[in-house]
Homo-oligomer: A and B are copies of this chain.
């Protein structure tokens, strides 16, 4: 007889680059996003949840640093031949939504969005292909008051989730000032915006790498170029010494407060119309924030902020955490950026032909969660449930009645529902569940109208450190009247916290 060919068992694995989130991880992120959402609400922002799937046409090719359409996204062809894809960020869908509903939506439209996005990139350690973003944007507000508002909101948000004042700074710059500096340095010609685009790209990237390359590295990239430690050579922008000095002066233009920095920037862009505009905008933002009490201890003007190479057209901003952590090699370094954004005026125009001013911020959800954990400010772990053990399978109803009473009192509780034969397994289970309290009632206790109540937190402590005296004087388990169950459990939970 021919052997029946068995179908091989499927592998129980997430696809490469994807992961699952369990219990405390889900609760911790939810708690943080709830706090962020409350601040956004307070500022008048409205929630928006767009579909995860967009047409490739609507998404466009706006993924930062990727030029080819579809590159970097998960896309597939529908039966009707249209191509659709998973959203790669929350900004492209916002542009689509605003264009689609602009007659019904209020203008300005303040909206926030939280949810997963997907990137079809090579997965690596800590690099996932699905991750959360949390954005807030104002569409249809030309005034830089909208940018100032988002910076203030970002500052409030960081404090609301648990980053204390002094441990973060929101830094603001303006692309127009940068363009003014380029004009003064002679690498931007207002009458021919495309001229020197290559050189400007090198300059922008160099400034963006100031943290990593230091002043000398950036200076080299502005000029002839730079050889890195590995011996690789990066072409420079080919600026003359005089030109390079203008740019270097810009990067170090930050002064003791906003007013002085703005004055210094005004000198640097003298003669450039766009530069003067940018300086005036920064001044307006600084004044608006000052009058609301957001001083340089929270928000500062910092000319070294560039924010990538994308579509920003005016103010750009980022939130940096300034406390130190140890990197993977045990060296101290600042935690760094957890949020960034800026003004972009062309995203909606793709759909409607009309420029619509917009500005917004994106918080790196996983980065900020990591920061909270580093500060020991992660959401308190969800307390494990009280576990009612099963000594007598036939009295399951009695045990269920106990958890029902506890739950009615608002106490998280469950009956052990595995095979009750081995009592040790029940206590191991309670341990795995991080249970604070276990309840035990055998037939004898049942007859006498009592239960055993076991303090698992104290029990663990005693098992670890206690002297014999303490062990004797602080019994982790005692007998109580069945009628006092809820009151005694509540008291025990109270004494643990």
A15-B53, A47-B23, A417-B138 known; A400 vs B130 contact (CB < 8 Å): no
Question: Which residues of B sit under 8 angstroms from A116, Cβ to Cβ?
Answer: 52
0 or 1 for each of A12-52: is its CB under 8 Å from B? (1 = yes): 11111011111101110010000000000111101111111
Judging by beta carbons under 8 Å apart, are B26 and A433 in contact?
Answer: no
A27 nearest CB neighbor, chain B only: B47
CB-based contact A433/B51 at 8 Å: no
Give Cα A347–Cα B350 distance, bound, in whole angstroms: 47
State whether the Cβ of A396 lies closer than 8 Å to any Cβ in chain B. yes
A108: chain B residues at CB < 8 Å are 417-418
A397 touches B287 (CB 8 A): yes
Residues from chain B with Cβ under 8 Å of A413 in the complex: 42-44
From B13, B53, B58, B411, contact of A10 by CB (8 A): B58
Any B CB within 8 A of the CB of A463:
no
Fill in one digit per residue for A412-456: 1 if any B CB lies within 8 Å of its CB, else 0.
Answer: 111101110000000001001100000000000000000000000
Q: In the bound complex, how far is the Cα of B385 from the Cα of A110, in angstroms?
A: 11
Stretch at the interface among A74-82, A211-219, A321-329: A74-82
A214 to chain B, nearest CB (A): 38
Q: Is the CB of A48 within 8 A of B22?
A: yes
**Quick check: is A145 within 8 A (CB to CB) of the other chain?**
yes
Q: Could you tell me if A60 and B382 are in contact, using CB atoms closer than 8 angstroms?
A: no
Q: Is the CB of A41 within 8 A of B76?
A: no
Q: Please state if B288 and A400 are interface contacts (CB–CB under 8 Å).
A: yes
- A412 in complex: contacting residue of B42, B60, B145, CB < 8 Å: B42
Decide if the interface of chain A is mainly helix, strand, loop or mixed: mixed
Partner of A51, one of B19, B293, B411: B19
- The complex places the Cα of A138 from the Cα of B20 at a distance, in Å, of 18
Residue A140 lies at the interface, judged by CB distance under 8 Å to chain B: yes
The yes or no answer to A141 lying at the interface (CB within 8 A) is yes
Question: A41 touches which one: B22, B93, B382, B432 (CB < 8 A)?
Answer: B382
- Contact mask for chain A residues 300-322; partner B; CB cutoff 8 A; 1 contact, 0 none: 00000000000000000000000
Q: Cβ of A353 < 8 Å from any Cβ of B?
A: yes
Residues on B with beta carbons closer than 8 Å to the beta carbon of A12: 58, 96-97, 99-100, 351-352
Q: Which listed residue (B26, B52, B419) contacts A47, Cβ 8 A?
A: B26
Indicate if the CB atoms of A418 and B292 lie closer than 8 Å. no
* Nearest-neighbor residue (CB-CB) of A430 within chain B: B106
Least CB distance from A487 to B in Å reads 18
Q: Is A246 an interface residue (CB 8 A)?
A: no
Tell me the minimal C-beta distance from A3 to chain B in angstroms.
18
The answer to whether A11 and B58 have CB atoms under 8 Å apart is yes
A233–B181 Cα distance when bound, in Å, is 81
Give the complex CA separation of A411 and B44 in angstroms. Answer: 10
Chain B hits for A76, CB < 8 A = 74-76
Can you name 10 A-B pairs with beta carbons within 8 Å?
A13-B55, A15-B55, A20-B97, A21-B50, A22-B46, A22-B47, A42-B410, A145-B417, A149-B417, A292-B397
Question: Which 6 interchain pairs have the tightest Cβ spacing?
Answer: A44-B414, A12-B99, A18-B51, A44-B385, A26-B47, A141-B417
